[in-house]
């Protein structure tokens, strides 16, 4: 290759990485934390484990959307206190988290998984039925929205 020829390398965005994770059977929280966590010193496998139970609105109970929870974990990694007495960091983290949640709700109408996907996945039977019906395709939008809002904050 000549010196004047440059090999073009396309940088993969955090959004693309997150969606790639999500499309490989990680839940929404895992997908977000696995994208951002390693840049804060977390091993990817630890990111998977830390938020394993956060998908489907916390263990498929339809509560707070896992995409929100994954994003809040990242906000905590970036801004959270490392010293128990650092109340300024605590307050900053909580304020940023509240802004994130407010923006997410204002764009999507809810922060609850059950309301967002319009499906109850709280039993193994209902979860399997949701998978068969392709309900989780809707989650791409919520994962994408969470990453876009997270990028604004970070």
Q: What is the pTM of this model?
A: 0.89
**What gap in Å lies between CA 9 and CA 4, rounded to an integer?**
15
**What gap in Å lies between CA 111 and CA 30, rounded to an integer?**
17
Name residue, tokens 């609105």.
57
pLDDT of residue 7: 53
**What gap in Å lies between CA 112 and CA 14, rounded to an integer?**
24
DSSP single-letter state for residue 138: G
**What gap in Å lies between CA 44 and CA 93, rounded to an integer?**
23
22-36: average pLDDT: 95
With bands split at pLDDT 50, 70 and 90, how would you rate the model's confidence at 147? Answer: very high
Strand partners, 147: none
* Interior/surface letters 49-59, b for 16+ CB within 10 angstroms, e for the rest: ebbeebbbbbe
**What gap in Å lies between CA 91 and CA 150, rounded to an integer?**
18
**What gap in Å lies between CA 30 and CA 48, rounded to an integer?**
5
34-61: average pLDDT: 96
Per the CB < 8 A criterion, the answer to whether 30 and 51 are in contact is yes
- Give the orientation angle of helix 66-79 with respect to helix 87-108, to 10 degrees: 150
With bands split at pLDDT 50, 70 and 90, how would you rate the model's confidence at 71? Answer: very high
pLDDT of residue 1: 47
Main-chain dihedrals φ then ψ at residue 107, nearest 5 degrees: -90, -25
33-43: average pLDDT: 96
């Amino acid at each position: 290759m000549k010196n004047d020829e440059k090999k073009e390398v396309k940088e993969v965005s955090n959004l693309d990485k997150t969606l790639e994770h999500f499309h490989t059977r990680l839940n929404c929280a895992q997908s977000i934390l696995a994208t951002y966590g390693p840049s804060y010193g977390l091993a990817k496998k630890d990111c998977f484990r830390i938020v394993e139970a956060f998908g489907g609105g916390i263990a498929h109970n339809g509560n707070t959307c896992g995409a929100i929870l994954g994003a809040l974990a990242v906000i905590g990694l970036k801004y959270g206190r490392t010293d128990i007495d650092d109340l300024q960091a605590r307050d900053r983290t909580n304020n940023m988290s509240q802004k994130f949640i407010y923006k997410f709700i204002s764009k999507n109408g809810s922060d609850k998984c059950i309301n967002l996907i319009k499906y109850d996945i709280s039993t193994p039977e209902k979860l399997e039925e949701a998978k068969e019906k392709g309900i989780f395709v809707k989650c791409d939008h919520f994962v994408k929205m969470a990453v876009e809002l997270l990028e604004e904050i970070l």
